[in-house]
Amino acid sequence: MGSGFNVGTVIVLLIVIVVLGIVFANIRIVPQSMKYVIELLGKYKETWDAGLHVKIPFVSSIVKKVTLKEQLLDSPPQNVITKDNVTMKIDAVVYFYVQDAKLYTYGAINPISAMENLTATTLRNIVGALDLDETLTSRDLINTKMREIIDKETDPWGIKVVRVEIKNIIPPAEIRDAMERQMKAERDRRETLLQAEGHKQAAITRAEGDKQAAILAAEGERDARIARAEGEAKAIYLKKKAEADGLIALKEAGADAAVLELKKYEALVKLSDGTASKLIIPTDAVKAVTNNVIFAETAGIGDVTQSAPKAAPQKEDDPCCEGKPSQKDFA
């Protein structure tokens, strides 16, 4: 009895251990940013998100582990012919992520390889409709068109294309040499234009400076002439004002006619100064002089008569020389 109990207990324990082992063996933890595609008896059953899951032993299986992180597809360089029959090498980079794990699992046998070929054919089609210059200057246009086309075509595969970037555009060697010569000629042309523009601006600046200098010089000369004219006018005014004040003072002193006549005489005397000058005195002036001599002598304004010259001293005869003939006698 005890023996049978021991065998039964062992069997039960073994069964429990096996069941627990099977259960633990079918427990799965799905990490973050991952999805598991589950099939039941070879048919799609469900998609596991991140967390703890237990699959049915022996009848269900994990057929695909899909990452939801953004991925990079680096397309290798390929020969592309432009609209004007220029062959060049172009490579592109595609950024994408899986938005539907079920479609990504069952949509295509190898979605990455399919998308790589789709990128190559799309690039050839777009560049084939452009000429060389448009290809070199239209990277944004090419990127946008490629992203739109690839994103639309990969929707059945559960792939979302974020962006497409052209990495390198490598034209043939002879085209590169021609482009370098063209760029050098363009740089030389711009340099010549800049130098000519600089000379032009310098000439204009110098002309403007000369013009301003001439204007300032003319304004300075004008202001100087105005200042000199104003000074001369002021001097004449002050001189005439002084003469008028003098005449007013003489008039107030009560010597009108006599003083005025004397002033006339002084003016005549000034006019007669100098060599070889002749003075013509009108008769009315002579009469005025005769009438005003007494006043002139009384007022003491100048001497109207000159004192007689003194007689020269007489030379006494030398007694030693009396009776002798002089040099005058010989003359």
Token pair for 193: 């234009």
Per-residue pLDDT tens digits of the chain, which is 331 residues long: 445 557 878 888 888 888 888 888 888 999 998 999 999 988 999 999 999 998 888 888 899 999 999 999 998 888 999 888 888 999 999 999 999 999 999 988 899 999 999 999 999 999 999 988 888 888 999 999 999 999 999 999 999 999 999 988 888 888 888 878 888 898 888 889 999 989 898 999 999 898 989 999 998 889 888 998 988 888 888 888 887 887 777 677 665 565 566 666 666 666 666 555 555 555 555 555 555 544 444 444 444 444 444 444 454 444 444 444 444 443 3
For residue 325, give both structure tokens: 């003939």
Cα–Cα distance between 96 and 157 in angstroms, integer? 12
pTM: 0.53
| Superfamily the domain 71-171 falls into | Band 7 domain (3.30.479.30)
Alpha-carbon gap, residue 50 to 18, rounded angstroms: 28
276: which residues sit within 8 A by CB, 6+ positions away?
none
CA-to-CA distance for 82 and 246, rounded, in angstroms?
110
